[in-house]
């Protein structure tokens, strides 16, 4: 992922040095697991020496990474290059490096380590966004605004209810993500085709325990990619929720609507040509990232079907999509948190837009009131619709037109009609909805 769309903590996690550190963590855990799970195999003293000598000071990592790259030029195999570069730093205990393992034992288990760490960063940012949504929902619990269907005025809602909906959806996405992250928190040290021919299951179990993973119940040479496909698909789903929120902000910031807008900082510029512009650029950025995430999900699904016990058609793709998907989602979550935290809400403009259609949003209330007075639904509808269309086409007050309609007045008093036009009616169950949304 390009630096523009990364956060520092995720950048560090997906660095080349972090990759080799994860590989090293797996190699050391495997050696210790042999010593502890299979008495008489690897001497514990050799494991302790390996742990000591393999621990690189931070200043040595650039040299170590460069040496791996140099060896790979000749071997054309990154894991072989890694183990040889590591062995150069060790004494006789180097013979236990990669003992009984195949490359994917190390690479796939290391993927799981880093995906688990990335998941913790994503989960923390998802929780931060959810907290901001909850706070802003509470602030605007009863801030009336027009609800729209098909982009057209429907009936009143509140901006707090719009945010409460997002809160409930974020909670669902959190549950999905926790499940998906648990699905990739697996290790695999079962050898070339997954039969444990050269490394017993007890070594895998102990190594996974040391690494904070659980053993994959059954694998081939690789951990099966349905796990990763589910993980990336959930990431794409969270991206879709972020896009949903971003599109709403973009709509509300349109000049014709102007019910809310992204915070506009001192010194910020909206356009190189038009000094007046204040554009929803952050929300548009989130929308674009959501498109990327959906693309990564497609690739992850295509990685599931490998030849026989494995091929490496998935390898090049996931070296891109796994770091990029986690990094892009983490960034987008942070950006949406910032957007909603600083979102400027124009409550007066919301009320003005609510009134812009001359009270037409009360058409259902008038119709239902007539039904309650004994009219059939069809008859009530046919009484109300012509007055609604007249208000729409002429700009007259729908309330006045209803009051002046003798056929309606035969069933409803003027006082009863006026009471039907109180917008607070639409928020009478707002507390129940907030509770249902987890607020």
CATH of the domain at 374: 1.10.40.30
Note whether residue 237 is domain-resident. yes
Q: What's the whole-number mean pLDDT along residues 277-305?
A: 94
**165 shares its domain with 220:** yes
Between residues 358 and 180, which one has the greater pLDDT?
A: 180
Same domain, 254 and 391: no
Same domain, 253 and 333: yes
**Residue 378 confidence (pLDDT) above 90:** yes
321 and 190 assigned to the same domain:
yes
Over residues 66-85, mean pLDDT: 95
Q: Are residues 340 and 374 in the same domain?
A: no
**Residue 270 pLDDT class (50, 70, 90 cuts):** low
Task: Count how many Cα atoms sit within 13 Å of the Cα of residue 336 in the half-sphere of its side chain.
Answer: 36
Mean residue pLDDT across the chain: 94
The Cα 76–Cα 134 span in angstroms is 52
Q: Is the pLDDT of residue 274 over 80?
A: no
∠ CA 41-186-306, rounded to 5°: 100
pLDDT digits (tens, 9 = 90+) for 193-238: 999 999 999 999 999 999 999 999 999 999 999 999 999 999 999 9
Query: Domain of 285: which CATH number?
Result: 1.20.200.10
78 is in which domain, residue-wise?
3-265+275-351
- pLDDT on residue 271: 56
DSSP 3-state of 386:
helix
For residues 399, 405, 407, 411, the Cα torsion angle rounded to the nearest 10 degrees is 40
The CB density around residue 69, as the number of other CB atoms within 10 Å, is 13
Q: Which residues are catalytic?
A: 150, 271
Confidence of residue 276 (pLDDT cuts 50, 70, 90): low
The 10s digit of each residue's pLDDT in 138-161 is 999 999 999 999 999 989 999 999
pLDDT score, position 191: 95
The verdict on residue 107 lying in a domain is yes
Supply the pTM of this predicted model.
0.92
SS3 at position 154: strand
3-state class (DSSP) for residue 392: helix
Residues 342 and 389 in one domain: no
Q: Is the pLDDT of residue 118 over 90?
A: yes
Last residue of a domain, one of 326, 351, 376: 351
* Position 56 in a domain: yes
pLDDT over 70 (residue 180): yes
Within this chain, do residues 304 and 389 fall inside the same structural domain, yes or no?
no
**Is there a single domain that holds both residue 161 and residue 255?**
yes
Q: What does the pLDDT average to over 308-326?
A: 95
Per-residue pLDDT at 278 exceeds 90: no
Q: Looking at the structure, do residues 9 and 85 belong to the same domain, yes or no?
A: yes
pLDDT over 80 at 360, yes or no: yes
Last residue of a domain, one of 351, 386, 410: 351
Residue 367 domain-assigned (yes or no): yes
**Residue 160 maps to a domain:** yes
Number of domains, the chain: 2
Tens-digit pLDDT profile for residues 319-338: 999 999 999 999 999 999 99
Nearest alpha carbon to residue 98 among 206, 24, 44: 24
In a domain, 411, yes or no: yes
Identify whether 110 is part of a domain: yes
pLDDT class of 2 with cuts at 50, 70, 90: confident
Are 364 and 226 in the same domain? Answer: no
Per mean pLDDT, which range of 13-17, 215-219, 273-277, 406-410 is the poorest? 273-277
Q: Token pair for residue 175?
A: 């549950």
- The confidence band for 3, taking pLDDT boundaries of 50, 70 and 90, is confident
Going by pLDDT thresholds of 50, 70 and 90, the confidence category of residue 279 is confident
307 within a domain of the structure (yes/no): yes
Window from 179-188, 193-202, 256-265 with minimum mean pLDDT: 256-265
Same domain, 93 and 227: yes
pLDDT at 272 over 80: no
Q: State whether the Cα torsion 241-244-248-250 is positive or negative.
A: positive
Based on the domain organization, do 119 and 218 belong to the same domain?
Answer: yes
Start-to-end CA span in the chain (Å): 35
Burial track 36-61 (b if 16+ CB lie within 10 A, e otherwise): bbeeebbeeebbebbeeebebeeeeb
User: Which pLDDT belongs to residue 5?
Assistant: 87
Contact 371, 377 (CB under 8 A): yes
What pLDDT, on a 0 to 100 scale, did the predictor assign at position 41?
95
Cβ neighbours around 213 below 10 Å, total: 21
Of 300, 316, 351, the one marking the end of a domain is: 351
Q: Are 391 and 358 in contact (CB under 8 A)?
A: yes
Give the pLDDT of residue 280. 86
């Amino acid at each position: 992922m390009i630096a523009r769309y990364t956060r520092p903590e995720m950048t560090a996690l997906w660095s080349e040095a972090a990759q080799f550190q994860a590989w090293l963590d797996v190699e050391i855990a495997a050696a210790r697991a042999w010593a502890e799970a299979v008495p008489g195999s690897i001497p514990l003293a050799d494991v302790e020496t390996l742990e000591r000598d393999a621990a690189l000071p931070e200043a040595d990592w650039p040299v170590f990474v460069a040496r791996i790259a140099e060896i790979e030029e000749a071997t054309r195999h990154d894991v072989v290059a890694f183990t040889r570069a590591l062995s150069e730093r060790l004494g006789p205990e180097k013979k236990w490096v990669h003992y009984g393992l195949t490359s994917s034992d190390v690479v796939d288990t290391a993927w799981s380590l880093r995906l688990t760490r990335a998941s913790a960063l994503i989960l923390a940012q998802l929780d931060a966004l959810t907290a901001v949504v909850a706070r802003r929902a509470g602030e605007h619990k009863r801030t009336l605004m027009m609800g729209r269907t098909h982009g057209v005025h429907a009936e009143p809602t509140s901006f707090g209810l719009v945010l409460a909906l997002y809160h409930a959806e974020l909670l669902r996405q959190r549950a999905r993500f926790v499940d998906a992250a648990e699905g990739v928190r697996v290790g695999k040290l079962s050898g070339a085709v997954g039969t444990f021919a050269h490394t017993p299951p007890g070594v895998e179990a102990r190594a996974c325990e040391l690494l904070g993973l659980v053993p994959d119940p059954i694998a081939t040479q690789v951990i099966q990619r349905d796990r990763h496909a589910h993980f990336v698909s959930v990431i794409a789903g969270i991206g879709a929720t972020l896009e949903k929120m971003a599109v709403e902000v973009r709509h509300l910031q349109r000049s014709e609507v102007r019910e809310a807008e992204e915070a506009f900082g001192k010194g910020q510029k909206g356009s190189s040509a038009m000094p007046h512009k204040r554009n929803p650029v952050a929300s548009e950025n989130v929308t674009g990232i959501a498109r990327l995430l959906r693309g990564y999900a497609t690739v992850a699904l295509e990685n599931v079907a490998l030849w026989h016990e494995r091929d490496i058609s998935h390898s090049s793709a996931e070296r891109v999509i796994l770091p990029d998907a986690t990094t892009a989602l983490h960034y987008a979550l942070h950006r949406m948190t910032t957007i909603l935290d600083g979102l400027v809400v124009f409550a007066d403009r919301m009320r003005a837009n609510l009134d812009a259609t001359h009270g037409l949003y009360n058409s259902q209330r008038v119709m239902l009131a007539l039904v309650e007075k004994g009219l059939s639904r069809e008859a009530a509808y046919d009484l109300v619709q012509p007055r609604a269309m007249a208000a729409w086409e002429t700009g007259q007050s729908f309330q006045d037109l209803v009051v002046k309609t003798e056929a309606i007045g035969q069933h409803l008093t003027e006082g009863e009609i006026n009471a039907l036009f109180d917008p607070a009616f639409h928020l009478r169950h707002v507390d129940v909805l907030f509770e249902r949304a987890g607020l």
